[in-house]
Each structure stands twice: as C-alpha cells, then as structure tokens.
Amino acid sequence: MTTVRIIGPGRVGTSLARALQAAGVEVVGVLGRADDSSFAADGVDVLILAVPDGAIAAVASAVRPVAATVVAHCSGALGPEVLIGHERAAAMHPLVTIPDPAIGAARLSSGCYFAVAGDPAVSDIVAALGGQRLTIAPDARARYHAAACMASNHLVALLGQVERVAASIGLPLEVFLPLAKGALDDVARVGPAAALTGPVASEDTATIERHRQALDPAELAGYDAGVALARQLISADREH
C-alpha cells in the first residue's frame, strides 16, 4: 500500500487527505506550520506539499531528502524543478475548485483532471483517486494555470460584478445564476463561439452603448473587457 504524508493542513491538504484515505491510501499525517517538517520525507512513499506556490521552495528545502521518497507539490503554475535537492520530484495539480474539505474531497474523487509532471509515482496517486492525467509541457505550465484561473477565479469575479449591478436595481444574484448555468451548459454542448448570444453577437452597438451609459463608471472596465473578449471570440471564429 502506498503511504503518503502531507504538509499543509489547509483546504487542499485536508481535502487530499480525506480523498486519499477514502481511496484506500494510507495517509500517515498532515503537518502544519507548528510541526517539525525536517523529517517529513522519512518513512513514506510520497510527501505532498499542499502549500502556497510562494512557499513551496522554502518548505521543500526544509525537508531532509530521502532518496526513495517522492516529494510532490500541488501547484499548477510550477513544475517539479522547484523541489531542489529532492531526487524524486513531481507535481500534481488538481483541476478543481476546493471551497472546503468536504466538497474538495468529493471533487478530488470525482474523476477530475490532474496536471502531472515528474516522478511517475504521482500518476499512481491520481489513479487511486480515479482521476484523469494531463501532461503539460514545462514551458506551457504558466499558460495552463492562467487558463485554469480564467475558468474559475475570473468567472467568480465576473459573477461578483453581476451581483453588484443586480443589487443596484434591487435584485439578488440568484436571479441570474440560471442564466449563467445555462450559458455554461451551452458552451459544453456546442463550444464558446456557437454559444455566444447577446448584443455583441448581433452587432448591436446601440445596446452596448446604452449599457455603458447606465452602468456605474466603476463597472465599465469589467464590462468593456467582456465586450472585447466577446468580439475577439467572434473574430477568431470567423477566421476559422
């Protein structure tokens, strides 16, 4: 049986611990800041660093290398090369949002995608979770992670703008969520270009200008960015 230790008791680390235990992988401990991590690689097959990107190198350097132990991190933007000093190094980035440990554990066990790199032992971890592996070229990891942020973080921020504009006319965000969910379903079914509707798709510049005149000036940068992205989508589709 594969044995795993995790450094990082936050949402990602705790979710991974729960998901791995449910999958039959032995998790021997989850270490936090107050714990001595220098011997964290001792006695386990895989040590997973579920810590912020900016802390990975420092945390890894504090761990005494063990030749037989794989040290892996969960960053999407960084590769195994940041784990300096560890002979067997890897990366395994789960392509899911993890709002809390319960939901996170369920999503990590749902057949989600993991971007893997480095030592093949992490592929065994992904397989144990029932996940699907993605292989990202080293020079493409930053673009991969940017796409992931756009698909989740930027989408959430956009809905935050919807919430603000809706509140200005006395409506809750919930009124617009079925519209957003329907748009995502359409993208999944027919792709972004075919799913696009609204004034940009119909080249209704008068309506776009009415929107701009009605919005709080603080919201114009976000709105204009959305219009520009929609126009870029249409232009790219026509070129193909």
Per-residue confidence in pLDDT tens, the chain, 240 aa: 799 999 999 999 999 999 999 999 999 999 999 999 999 999 999 999 999 999 999 999 999 999 999 999 999 999 999 999 999 999 999 999 999 999 999 999 999 999 999 999 999 999 999 999 999 999 999 999 999 999 999 999 999 999 999 999 999 999 999 999 999 999 999 999 999 999 999 999 999 999 999 999 999 999 999 999 999 999 987 777
Domain 141-239, second-level architecture: Orthogonal Bundle (1.10)
Q: Is 136 left (phi over 0), alpha (psi -120 to 50) or beta?
A: beta
- Provide the pLDDT for residue 236: 85
- Provide the pLDDT for residue 102: 96
Mind spelling out the 3-state secondary structure of the chain? CCEEEEECCCHHHHHHHHHHHHCCCEEEEEECCCCCCCCCCCCCCEEEECCCHHHHHHHHHHCCCCCCCEEEECCCCCCHHHCCCCCEEEEEEECCCCCCHHHHHHHHCCCCEEEEEECCHHHHHHHHCCCEEEECCHHHHHHHHHHHHHHHHHHHHHHHHHHHHHHCCCCCHHHCHHHHHHHHHHHHHHCHHHHCCCCCCCCCHHHHHHHHHHCCHHHHHHHHHHHHHHHHHHHHHHHC
pTM, entire model:
0.92
- Provide the pLDDT for residue 182: 98
Domain ranges of the chain: 3-136, 141-239
- Provide the pLDDT for residue 233: 96
| CATH code matching the domain that covers 3-136, chosen among 3.40.50.2300, 3.30.70.141, 3.40.50.720, 3.60.15.10 | 3.40.50.720
- Provide the pLDDT for residue 239: 77
3-136 and 141-239 agree in CATH topology: no
Q: d(Cα 145, Cα 140) in Å, to the nearest integer?
A: 9
- Provide the pLDDT for residue 7: 98
Q: What is the token pair recorded at 198?
A: 């609204």
Single-letter code of the amino acid located at 106 = A
